[in-house]
Structure 1
Amino acid sequence: MITALVTYVIDPTKVDAFEVYARAWIHLVNRMGGTHHGYFLPHEGANNKAWCMFSFPSLAAYEAYRTEMVQNGECQRAYQHAQDTGCILSFDRTFTRPILDGASVEELGL
């Protein structure tokens, strides 16, 4: 499994527009074979940062999604919304390998 962690710098006066964008992408990623873990919008602290995480079973599955996105009209409309509203100033995408199950200290030999 591969998980993308995306850090956004957003326009703090356009959080509502960013939320529309976020809701569209949660739907799209889930429909296109991924698992979206949600967006996290500013509440306390910095008012211009937001994050999201989504997973695909493999890097190949993620690359297939990226290829499909380019040709998908709904994806293009979501991108256009962000461009038209100026809600996203910049973003950074990092790929991670999640650890999703715990173990006792005894099992881990600690």
Structure 2
Amino acid sequence: MVTCYLKYIIDPYKLSEFELYSKMWIPLVEKFGGQHHGYFLPSEGANNVAIALFSFESLATYEEYREASFHDEECLAAFAFAKETRC
């Protein structure tokens, strides 16, 4: 199993946009066979950091997901949303 760790630096003025963006990815990761573990925020300290964790059965299945995400309409919409809102 491979667990991916993504660190986001969030614009504090775009929290609602980031929340929408993050919610888009949970079913998308699962659509491609992964398990999304959610988003985590620090309880103290910086308030503009979020961590996402998701796992795939193997590095090969993660790489398949990555490649497929660049061609999937829902993933492309999520990428576009992030670019448009700069969340």
TM over 0.5, yes or no? yes
Matches within 5 A, 1:98-109: none
Distance 1:42 1:82, change over 3 A: farther
Matches within 5 A, 1:1-110: 1-41=1-41, 44-87=44-87
SS in 1 for 2:70: helix
Counterpart of 2:73, as a letter, is G
How far off its partner does 1:48 sit?
A: 1.2
Q: Distance in 2 between matches of 1:53 and 1:65?
A: 15
Unaligned runs of 5+ in 2: none
Over 4 Å off, 4+ runs: none
How far off its partner does 1:43 sit?
A: 5.9
Unaligned runs of 5+ in 1: 88-110
Percent same amino acid among aligned pairs?
52
Alignment coverage as a number of residue pairs: 87
Counterpart of 1:48, as a letter, is N
How far off its partner does 1:46 sit?
A: 1.2
1:43-95 Cα distance to aligned partner (Å, 9 max, x none): 653121111000000000001001110100100100111111111xxxxxxxx
* Structure of greater Rg: 1
Between Structure 1 and Structure 2, which shows a larger proportion of helix residues?
A: 2
Q: Distance in 1 between matches of 2:11 and 2:78?
A: 17
Q: Distance in 2 between matches of 1:21 and 1:42?
A: 19
> Taking structure 2 as the reference length, what is the TM-score of the superposition?
0.93
